[in-house]
Amino acid sequence: MTKAITVAGLHKSFGRTHALDGLDLAVDSGEVHGFLGPNGAGKSTTIRVLLGLLRADSGAAQLLGKDPWKDAVALHRRLAYVPGDVELWPNLTGGEAIDLLSKLRGGLDRGRRDELIERFDLDPTKKGRAYSKGNRQKVAIVAALASNAELLLLDEPTAGLDPLMEVVFQDVITQAKEAGKTVLLSSHILAQVEKLCDRVSIIRLGKNVQSGTLSEMRHLTRTTVEAETERPATGLDAMPGIHGVRLTDRRVHFAVDGAHLDAAIRALGGFGIRSLVSHPPTLEELMLRHYGDELAANGHPAGADDAEDLPAAADTSGSRGVVR
């Protein structure tokens, strides 16, 4: 499969801040790629480098086979961008802003534009300053999707949208994917990413800490198992790949590495399973796995609520890395 985006060893500093510190990223053509990381991880900087708005200090980046800085204008005719914080011209109406951005990109499908305005329930006759944050966001989304761009760079596109519009957005992105478009979707809404994205990259402090499909990632991480057995399930903690065993009478609770799940369930079977609940790590847990130490530093008590099943980032450093 051809790559729509390839980034290798990208560095970018702003003064003494290292926004990107050797970032790698690969996005296949036709996929929806989730781009995750907390505020300040370098997501927006990466997208702006890909847009040729910022110039990388070192490293290589290619977009649709071209250089994002040198071939910026030619590339921009083939891509569309939705910033996370859309600023509009106070004196222009939303409709005018949509037309302006689409036509400067090189073309506008008027039927598609009107359909999207309808679906997103946007009033295109209001002036830019009269829009709320969510409505400004809609203007940029409509402008991006009304074009025939083959690549969509979306930087937290739905920040400020209400849940109804979130559903519409997901439909529209699914349609775009069916039409063969490539999407790089930076987002904090993990449910959105889980639903839309084929593959995901998690970045931290300007580095890519994990990339892969969600199932690949889940395989590498631990599944939580809760079971009730006929006899107390003793001796599990001695088995490889099983962590955090808590045994209270006949109930057992533990986390198991993906590779050892099969052995763990077989062992449980020996005690006579009465009930079994097992859930793969959610994306949130995957994220938190890489940020556990930050949470602890921010005063989140270790072992509290959902984080209790998560191994601390430090002791899983061996399983980090890019999955292909």
Partner 1 sequence: MTTVTAPAAGRTSAPARTGSGALAGTGILVRFGLRRDRVRIPVWVVALTLGTMSSVTEFKTLYSTAAERATAVSSMDSPAALAMTGPRHYLDDYNIGSMMGHQLLGFMGVLVGLMSVLIITRHTRNEEETGRAELVRSTVVGHHAQLASALILAAVANLALAALLTLSILSAGIDGITTGGALLYGLTNAAIGLVFAGVAAITTQITAHTRGASGMALAAIGVAYVLRASGDVGNDALSWLSPIGWAQRTYVFVDNRWWPLLLCLALAALTAATGFVLSTRRDVGAGLRSARLGRRTASDALTRPFGFALRLHRATLLGFGAGLFVMGGMYGSILGEAADMLKDIDPVQEALAKIGGASVAESFASMVMVVIAVVAAVYVVMAALRPRAEESAGRAEPLLATGLSRDHWVGSHVAVALAGGTALLLVAGLGFGVSGAASVGDGGLVLELIGAALAYAPALWVTVGVAVALFGWYPRAGAAAWIVPVYAFLVGYLGSILQFPDWMNNLSPFGHVPQLPAAEMSWTPLLVLTAVAAGLIWLGLAGFRRRDLETK
Q: Which residue, 97 or 200, is less far from partner 1 as judged by CB?
A: 97
Binding interface with partner 1 (CB under 8 A): 44, 48, 51, 53-55, 72-73, 76-77, 79-81, 83, 85-93, 95-101, 103-106, 124-127, 129-130, 140, 143, 153
Calpha distance 267→245 (Å, rounded): 14
Closest residue by Cα to residue 187 from 29, 13, 32: 32
Q: Which residue, 130 or 322, is less far from partner 1 as judged by CB?
A: 130
Compute the least distance from the CB of residue 297 to partner 1, in Å: 27
Compute the least distance from the CB of residue 83 to partner 1, in Å: 6
Provide the token pair at 246. Answer: 């808590």
Compute the least distance from the CB of residue 95 to partner 1, in Å: 5
Compute the least distance from the CB of residue 39 to partner 1, in Å: 13
Q: Which residue, 85 or 315, is less far from partner 1 as judged by CB?
A: 85
In the block, tokens 């980046």 appear at 61
Q: Which residue, 95 or 212, is less far from partner 1 as judged by CB?
A: 95
Cα-Cα end-to-end distance for the chain: 13
Strand order in the sheet with 3-14: 17-28, 3-14, 58-63
User: Which residues on adjacent β-strands are paired with residue 213?
Assistant: 199
Calpha distance 126→304 (Å, rounded): 48
Compute the least distance from the CB of residue 38 to partner 1, in Å: 18
Q: Establish how many alpha carbons lie within 13 A of residue 141's alpha carbon, considering only the half-sphere containing its beta carbon.
A: 32
Q: Which residue, 58 or 234, is less far from partner 1 as judged by CB?
A: 58
